[in-house]
Chains A and B, each alone.
Chain A
């Protein structure tokens, strides 16, 4: 079955420090991977995607993600965290078993950035 796993319910980091939010995936074939962010009382917003090409993908708000095929991972990273980065982050994968028209989401990781 196609799936994504976010092993951490919560990540705490101090402002200015680097942050990593982890994601692993299980798909048949080549994965289409995504990160979305949800700020309080808001809908999800697209951050970045990996389809093919460079393993390091750059996205919005200074975020980037590293695709690692051997470890089946797609971790979200940022060199220097901001308090305003505090939010709920979702990793997602395109569901190839249904023709790629559906998206499967992880359970989410809450990021707290402390000033």
Chain B
């Protein structure tokens, strides 16, 4: 099994629908992140969480919300999806013990298309 698992891997939805992307990890890492990848823009941080009680906005949090249900689970929600949220979404984790490096472990990605 993958260390960081994202579901669904692909989703097509319509404008205005609510969408949840889920992420679970078996790394035992305390830090979890949601990134969005768009061609030519690299990865941009949406939200990050250092533990269950700590949630922080990233650079592009508008239109998104998150929930850290447990140390191993971090979900991303689009309350009312719009076409410019069509993108590839990545969940990532890192380990506080090695925070000096903050090396990220990524999931395989969730491709979301909003029509």
User: How many interface residues does A have (CB within 8 Å)?
Assistant: 22
Q: Is B34 an interface residue (CB 8 A)?
A: no
What residues on B are CB-neighbors of A102 within 8 Å? 45, 48, 58
Asked whether any CB of chain B lies closer than 8 Å to the CB of A44, the reply is: yes
Are B90 and A43 interface neighbours, CB within 8 A?
Answer: yes
Which A residues, 37 to 60, have Cβ-Cβ distances below 8 Å to chain B?
41-46, 49, 51
Q: Is there contact, CB below 8 Å, between A34 and B103?
A: yes
In the bound complex, how far is the Cα of B41 from the Cα of A108, in angstroms? 8
B64 at the A interface (CB under 8 A): no
Q: Does B112 contact A (CB under 8 A)?
A: no
Within 8 A of A (CB), among B22-47: 31, 35, 40-45
A90 within 8 Å of B by Cβ?
A: yes
- Complex: how many Å from CA A36 to CA B44? 15
- A107 in contact with B58 (CB, 8 Å): no
Is A46 a contact partner of B105 (Cβ separation < 8 A)?
A: yes
Say yes or no: A49 contacts B40, CB within 8 Å.
no
Alpha-carbon gap, A37 to B107, bound state (A):
13
B 88-111 to A, binary, CB cutoff 8 A, 1 in contact else 0: 001010000001111111111100
Q: Which residue from A51, A100, A101, A105 sits with its C-beta under 8 Å from B43?
A: A105
Assembled-state Cα–Cα distance A49/B103 (Å) = 8
Inside 8 A of B44's CB, which chain A residues have their CB?
Answer: 105
Residue of B nearest to A94 (CB): B102
Can you report 16 residue pairs joining A to B where beta carbons are below 8 Å apart? A9-B40, A32-B100, A36-B106, A42-B109, A43-B108, A43-B109, A44-B92, A45-B106, A46-B105, A51-B101, A94-B102, A100-B102, A101-B102, A102-B58, A105-B44, A107-B41
